[in-house]
Amino acid sequence: MALLPGRSEHVSKVGLDGSEDRSCDRQPLRAGVTLAAGVVLAGGVVFLVRHGFAPTNYRAFAGEPSDLREWKGIARSALNLRGRGIIQLGILCLIATPVARVALSSVAFALERDWLLRRCRERCLGGADV
C-alpha cells in the first residue's frame, strides 16, 4: 500500500483477493453484538423465570408498557432487574453498536490526521461540517 499524503505510516495485511484486512473495523461490531446478545439473553432468562408459566391471551393484543417506550423507563426497569426492561436495554445496545463504530472510526481517522474520512464519518453521525 502506498503512503498517501496526510496519512500516517502503517502496515496493512492484504488478503489473497487483494482486499485489506480490516479486522480492527469489525472489533467494535463484534463486541457490541456480543454484549447486546448477552444482555437480551439475561433478560430473557429473568423474564421466563418470573413469567414462564403465565397463561397467554392471544385474543387481545397488549403492546409494550408505556414506561418501556423511552430510554429512561428502559434504564429504570433494567436497574430494577425486570426482564422486559433488560431485554429492551439489550435491543438499545444493538441499535447503538453501529453508531458507536462510526464514532470510534471518526476518532481513529482524526488521530491518523485523515481529515477527509473523518469528515465523512461525522456526516454519517449527523455532525456539522467543521
CA 68, CA 71: separation in Å to the nearest integer? 7
Q: How many CA atoms lie within 13 A of 62 on its CB side?
A: 6
Across 49-71, b (16+ Cβ under 10 Å) vs e yields eeeeeeeeeeeeeeeeeeebeee
Range 95-109 average pLDDT: 82
- Give the least confident one: 33-42, 63-72, 79-88: 63-72
pLDDT at 17: 52
pLDDT at position 112, please? 77
> How far is C-alpha 115 from the geometric centre of its chain's CA atoms?
24
Instruction: Tell me the per-residue pLDDT of 39-77, one tens digit each, with 9 for 90 and over.
Output: 999 999 999 999 989 888 888 888 888 888 899 999 999
Residue 46 to residue 83: CA distance in whole angstroms: 5
Task: Report pLDDT for 20.
Answer: 53
